[in-house]
Amino acid sequence: MSIPSFGLGTFRLTGQAVIDSVKSALELGYRVIDTAQIYKNEADVGQAIAESGVPREELFITTKIWTDSYAADKLIPSLRESLAKLRTDHVDLTLIHWPAPGNGVELREFMGALAEAKKLGLTRQIGISNFNIELTRQAIDVVGKGEIATNQIELSPYLQNRKLAAFLKEQGITVTSYMTLAYGKVLKDPVLAKIAVKHKATVAQVALAWALQLGYAVIPSSTKRENLASNLLARDLHLDEEDMAQIADLERNGREVSPDGLAPAWD
């Protein structure tokens, strides 16, 4: 099992905006696309992939199950709907989008259904998103050690989630960092700006390179072709120990997303 380290996020993009973003990204060399049922853009993503001409076997496609399909009799049918929209017979990774503790569906039920989807070949790998340490432990208990490929979590220089990240590393679960730029807030950070000047890089590249060097996967999004191309260059940027230490000091528990009824008690 492996999770590619660099992909394209599609959160908040729909219609022609997401079609153009995905097609531009694929032209630039991206091969990892991250979507979700709640984004309401799976059909647009499927159209963009089809029009791109990139062979399916070159792609790594992730989607996420939304809370209204967590019940055992709904999860697999909902994933089949996602596959139809994406114009593929399988995705490479399927995640439970939020633990949603007040949702009325037990973790054991939806993790069991997700594991069944993998057995049916609808998804190559399975994982979770926005789970804390305790809920990750419970998910492992249901599906078995080594079955959870990733936990996709909000993580940025302002929210470094070290305790959870360390636990996931112990368990052999890849951290996928979303909102690595903290809704763009880190782009104005003077410490990151100074590091960017030192390396003749952009602040976005510095933040993404920081996450990559910590061993995390990243899925930044953009509607601008130049930003998509620029973000890719983060893979070639090497930050030194001093850079990494300065970024470590930016931690301020700066969480941007914690919806009531969906989020767990954060570690």
Catalytic residues: 39
- Beta-bridge mates of residue 197: none
Backbone angles phi, psi at 131, to 5 degrees: -95, 140
Residue 157 in tokens? 């220089």
E strand or H helix at 99: none
125 in Cβ contact with 118 (< 8 Å) = yes
Helix boundaries (H) for 65-216 = 72-86, 107-119, 133-143, 162-170, 190-198, 203-213
The strand ranges marked E within 163-237 are: 174-178, 217-218
E strand or H helix at 125: strand 123-129
How far is residue 210's CA from residue 159's CA, in Å, rounded to a whole number? 13
